[in-house]
Amino acid sequence: MLSKIVRMSCLVLVTVLVLGCMTWAQTTEVAANPATHTLTIVIKGTIGPILSGVDPLGLDGKNGTVKILASESLSPKKHTSTSATYELPAGAIKVTAGDNHFSTTSPSKMIINLKSTADTLTLVVAGPDGVIVTDTTFLAKGSWTNAVLKHPGVFTPSPQKLTSAKTAGGPGCKLKYVIEGLTTVLGFSGTASNSETEDPVLPNPDADHYEVD
């Protein structure tokens, strides 16, 4: 009788341990694979007028589009109480400016600044032939919450109308590029929109691996 009780107690203990390990493993797997999202921002409109420089690429009056993909799990490389600087990997930004089309082949900077008069999005991108492009977009004040200083996120409302800057150093949307030592600044008017999509959770290949003696 005593041995039967001992065997039953051992069986219960083993069952509890197995179920506990399975629950712990499931909890760990969920924690290790949290749902993440990809932020997509599209800025499109008309480039111009010329605010400074001579426009050697002939972009004045041409259509322009910038498409940005950024993981919302990114953390800023540096930040202040009102701004955050993120590094986007190669390929994260696609640019169309007139007849010029390219995707980034090196890391780019994305700077979000929550100013007293507007929320700004600044991109610093290396293009082909050594051109460096700085795109500055002025959004409505309060488009982002302070959470965007910790991780990228959507702005509201979307879309928003973009107004061109009137001077190279003044407020408003603008596009600056530097090529062969020449600096050109152009205005930009159009729209900015954004959205987010949940990334698929990929299976862990190790989870289906079993060793056979």
Mean pLDDT, rounded, for 32-55: 88
Mean pLDDT, rounded, for 163-191: 97
Report the number of distinct structural domains present in the chain. 2
Paired strand residues for 175: 135, 186
CB within 8 Å of 126: residues ≥ 6 apart: 104, 105, 106, 108, 132, 133
Give the pLDDT score at 19: 37
Mean pLDDT, rounded, for 162-190: 97
Give the pLDDT score at 165: 98
Based on the fold, state whether residues 19 and 61 are members of the same structural domain.
no
Give the angle subtended at the CA of 19 by the CAs of 14 and 24, to the nearest 5°.
125
pTM for the complete prediction? 0.79
pLDDT higher at 202 or 170: 170
Based on the fold, state whether residues 113 and 61 are members of the same structural domain.
yes
pLDDT above 90 covers what percent of the chain?
Answer: 74
**pLDDT of 178 strictly over 90:** yes
Mean pLDDT, rounded, for 185-194: 98
103 with 133: CB under 8 angstroms? Answer: no
Distance CA 113, CA 84 (A): 7
- Using CA atoms in the order 150, 153, 156, 159, what is the torsion angle rounded to 10 degrees? 140
111 with 83: CB under 8 angstroms? Answer: yes
Based on the fold, state whether residues 108 and 13 are members of the same structural domain.
no
DSSP state of 76: -
Based on the fold, state whether residues 48 and 18 are members of the same structural domain.
no
Residue 198 host element (H or E): strand 182-198
Answer whether residue 75 is part of any domain.
Answer: yes
Answer whether residue 213 is part of any domain.
Answer: no
The residue segments making up the domain with residue 11 are: 2-33
Distance CA 36, CA 202 (A): 12
Based on the fold, state whether residues 45 and 135 are members of the same structural domain.
yes
DSSP state of 105: S
Based on the fold, state whether residues 77 and 169 are members of the same structural domain.
yes
Distance CA 115, CA 204 (A): 43
